[in-house]
Amino acid sequence: LREQAGRGELLQPLLFVLLVLCSVLLLLAVSLMDPGFVRPEEEEEEAGEAGGQGLGIPQAPGAVKLRRCGYCLVKQPMRARHCQLCQRCVRRYDHHCPWIENCVGERNHPLFIAYLSVQLVVLLWGGHVAWSGLDFQQSWEWLQHNILLLMSFLLIVIFTTVVLLLLVSHLYLISCNTTTWEFMSHHRISYLRHSELENPFDQGIILNLWRFFC
C-alpha cells in the first residue's frame, strides 16, 4: 500500500482506508444502537402486533403462554430473552457479544453480520499486505527487523479465523431462521420444547435469508 501511494496509485490505499473506516462505523453503530429491547407492557400494547413481528415470525402456538420476565417484569414476546449484562429483555435475542459490549438482537443483528463481513475483508487484505512484506530468512538479524511484522501477521491470522467462523456460523443459523440462544438451549426453551416441529420458524433457506436481510 505504501509503495502504491508513493507511485501515485491511490485507489487501493484509499479503498483500504475506507473499508477500515466503514468497519469502525459499523462497530460503533452495532455497539451503541438499541438491539431490540422490550418496552414496558403499556407501550407494547400501543405498538401493536405490527411492531412485534418485524421478521415475519409466526405467532406463538396456542399451547405456549407468553410469560412475564422475572427480572424486569415485562411480558416477554416469543423469542425474547432477558440479558443479565444489559438488564433488559431483548427481542429475538441471539447473544451478548463481548466484542461490542452489547446484545445482538432483532434490530442490530443484520448490522452485526455486515460488520463481520467488512471486518473479514479488512483482515484478509491486511493479512495479504503483511505477508507481502515478509521475506523469510534464517538469521537473527532478519528476525529482529521483522518481529513486529511477523507478530502482526500471526495476530491477523488468529482474528481472521475467529471472524470467519463467527460469520459462517451466523449465516448458517440465519438460513435456518434460528438464533444462537435457541440453537444452544433448544431443550430449555418452552416454545421449542413443546413444538411438534424441530424448528417451527424455518420457512426455507431463501425466505429465511430474505426476511432477515430485507
Catalytic site positions: 97
Cα 111 to Cα 97: distance, rounded to the nearest angstrom: 13
3-state secondary structure at position 149: helix
111/123 Cα distance (integer angstroms): 18
Decide: 147 and 100 in contact? Cβ < 8 Å.
no
Per DSSP, 37 falls in state B
DSSP 66-103: P-B-TTT-PBPPTT-EEETTTTEEETT--EEETTTTEE
SS3 annotation, 175-207: HCCCCHHHHHCHHHCHHHHCCCCCCCCCCCHHH
Q: What are phi and psi of 6, to 5 degrees?
A: -65, -30
Q: What amino acid is encoded at 185 in this protein?
A: S
Question: What does each C-alpha distance from 193 to 77, 95, 122, 127, 196 come to in angstroms?
Answer: 16, 20, 41, 44, 8
195-198 contact pairs (CB < 8 A, 24+): 195/61, 195/64
